């Protein structure tokens, strides 16, 4: 943090600076501060429409021919090692949807791969809710979080940064931005089951295990496990936010806490009772169960969409799959009544014709799988 010594001239409505080059810096800071406090909408959609309609791309700055040397007497130090930080060498998991490497070189290589080598950007909207594979989404987030590459079409990320500027430490408060009092629980047995992928709700467990073993989780997965922790288990949302902060390789403070507030219904969301149906989400975005089968190997013998609800299968079906409830895979820590609406609609075969596998989501179903509950009196 640095401070610019400046005096305000009320007669000319301007600031007096000791150096002219400081003027633009402080003017920009003041503009951002005023925007966040007085003009920033509390609903993301309103912000997005303004930005997309009026935003402009600034000219690219030229690369400097040389960089100034460090000041005399400043020790550049050494790069810490894993051992020095009390850590072991990272272990890669072959199932990872994001085998990340640090540094600008790797960031630029990923940009080249996604935009030019594969042209995966052309199908981003269709595939962004995928669960398996390297190219269903951009995977730029770790480098963006560390400033190793430029920001491209990151309206929501930037919005949460503005929200952080507007609300300050309130983004960490239990009652959130709305100062809404919710009777959050701190049941550590339930929390440990959630964070370790032992809720016995396969779609939740698969996502949590992927996070623990790779440091990454898809956007679809993050929305679901956050909803499950806050709306199904009723646990303090900050427990989940801190666990994400601890494990995510792409952790960004404003985005993480902003999204958790949103999921908990105490942030920037006019639909405060928004809740995801875990069974419908699993069937919509992993309809053949390939993603769950990949991360929950104890259920690999169950075919098709039945893998999302093993506790509903007959003894003969479980026996054929070599699954024993409460032994191989215990019953769920909780079941929500709305799940029953989708248990009999499971797919037992391959994806329908025209689908691109279990990670593909058709255009017309951009909001599919989300249950919105608007009644404050409805209990779950």
Q: What pLDDT is stored for residue 49 in this prediction?
A: 83
Q: Which two tokens stand for residue 367?
A: 């909001």
Of 45, 41, 219, 207, the closest CA to residue 128 belongs to 219
Q: Which two tokens stand for residue 94?
A: 């072959």
Q: What pLDDT is stored for residue 154 in this prediction?
A: 66
CA 187 to chain centre: 24
Residue 366 annotated in ligand binding: no
Residue 140 annotated in ligand binding: yes
Q: Which two tokens stand for residue 21?
A: 């080059």
Of 312, 288, 108, the closest CA to residue 203 belongs to 288
* Contact status, residue 144 vs residue 239, Cβ threshold 8 Å: no
Pairing of strands 7-9, 14-16: antiparallel
Q: What pLDDT is stored for residue 354 in this prediction?
A: 34
Q: What pLDDT is stored for residue 227 in this prediction?
A: 97
Most distant CA pair in the chain, distance:
86
Calculate ∠ Cα 69-70-75, nearest 5°: 140
Taking the C-alpha atoms of residue 34 and residue 199, their distance in angstroms, rounded to an integer, is 45
Residue 24 annotated in ligand binding: no
Q: What pLDDT is stored for residue 55 in this prediction?
A: 72
Q: What pLDDT is stored for residue 146 in this prediction?
A: 79
Q: Exposed, middle or buried, 32 (CB in 10 Å: 0-12/13-18/19+)?
A: middle
- Give all domains of the chain, ordered by start, each with its CATH number: 7-60+98-165 (1.25.40.80), 173-380 (1.10.579.10)
Residue 252 annotated in ligand binding: yes
Residue 139 annotated in ligand binding: yes
Residue 124 annotated in ligand binding: yes
Residue 7, phi then psi, degrees to nearest 5 = -115, 145
Q: What pLDDT is stored for residue 349 in this prediction?
A: 44
Residue 137 annotated in ligand binding: yes
Instruction: For residue 73, count other CB atoms closer than 10 A to its CB.
Output: 5
Q: Which residue has the tokens 């060498």?
A: 89
Q: What pLDDT is stored for residue 345 in this prediction?
A: 65
Q: What pLDDT is stored for residue 109 in this prediction?
A: 92
Q: What pLDDT is stored for residue 63 in this prediction?
A: 86
pLDDT in tens, the chain (380 residues): 333 444 444 444 444 444 444 445 445 555 555 656 657 888 888 888 877 777 777 788 888 898 888 888 888 888 888 888 888 877 788 999 887 788 889 989 999 999 999 999 899 888 888 999 999 988 888 888 877 665 555 678 888 888 998 999 999 999 999 899 999 999 999 999 999 999 999 999 999 999 999 999 999 999 999 999 999 999 999 999 999 999 999 999 999 999 999 999 999 876 667 899 999 999 999 999 999 999 999 999 999 999 999 999 999 999 999 999 888 899 999 999 999 999 876 654 444 333 344 444 333 333 333 332 223 333 32
């Amino acid at each position: 943090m640095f401070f610019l010594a400046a005096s305000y001239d009320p007669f000319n409505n301007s600031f007096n600076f000791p150096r002219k080059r400081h003027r633009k810096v402080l003017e920009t800071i003041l503009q951002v501060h005023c925007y966040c406090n007085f003009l920033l909408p509390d609903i993301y959609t309103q912000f997005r429409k303004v930005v997309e309609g009026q935003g402009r791309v600034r000219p690219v700055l030229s690369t400097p021919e040389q960089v100034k040397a460090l000041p005399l007497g400043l020790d550049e130090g050494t790069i810490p090692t894993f051992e020095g930080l009390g850590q072991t060498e990272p272990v890669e998991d072959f199932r990872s949807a994001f085998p990340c490497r640090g540094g600008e070189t790797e960031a630029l290589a990923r940009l080249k791969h996604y935009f030019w080598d594969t042209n995966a950007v052309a199908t981003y909207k269709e595939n962004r809710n995928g669960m398996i594979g390297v190219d269903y989404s951009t995977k730029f987030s770790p480098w963006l979080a560390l400033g190793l590459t430029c920001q491209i079409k990151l309206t929501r990320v930037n919005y949460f940064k503005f929200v952080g500027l507007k609300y300050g430490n309130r983004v960490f408060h239990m009652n959130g931005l709305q100062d809404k009092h919710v009777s959050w629980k701190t049941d550590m047995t339930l929390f440990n089951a959630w964070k370790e992928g032992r809720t016995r709700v396969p779609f939740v467990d698969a996502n949590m295990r992927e996070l623990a073993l790779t440091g990454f989780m898809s956007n679809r997965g993050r929305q679901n496990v956050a909803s499950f922790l806050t709306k199904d288990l009723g646990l303090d949302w900050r427990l989940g936010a801190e666990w994400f902060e601890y494990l995510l390789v792409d952790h960004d403070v404003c985005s993480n806490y902003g999204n958790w507030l949103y999921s908990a219904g105490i942030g920037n969301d006019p639909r405060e009772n928004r809740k995801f149906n875990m069974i419908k989400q699993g069937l919509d975005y992993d309809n053949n169960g390939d993603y769950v089968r990949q991360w929950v190997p104890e259920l690999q013998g169950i075919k098709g969409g039945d893998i999302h609800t093993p506790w509903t299968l007959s003894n003969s079906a479980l026996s054929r799959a070599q699954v024993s409830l409460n032994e191989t895979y215990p019953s769920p820590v909780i079941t929500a009544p709305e799940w029953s609406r989708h248990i009999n609609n499971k797919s037992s075969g391959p994806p329908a014709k025209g689908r691109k596998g279990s990670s593909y989501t058709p255009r017309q179903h951009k909001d599919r799988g989300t249950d919105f509950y608007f009644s404050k009196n409805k209990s779950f």
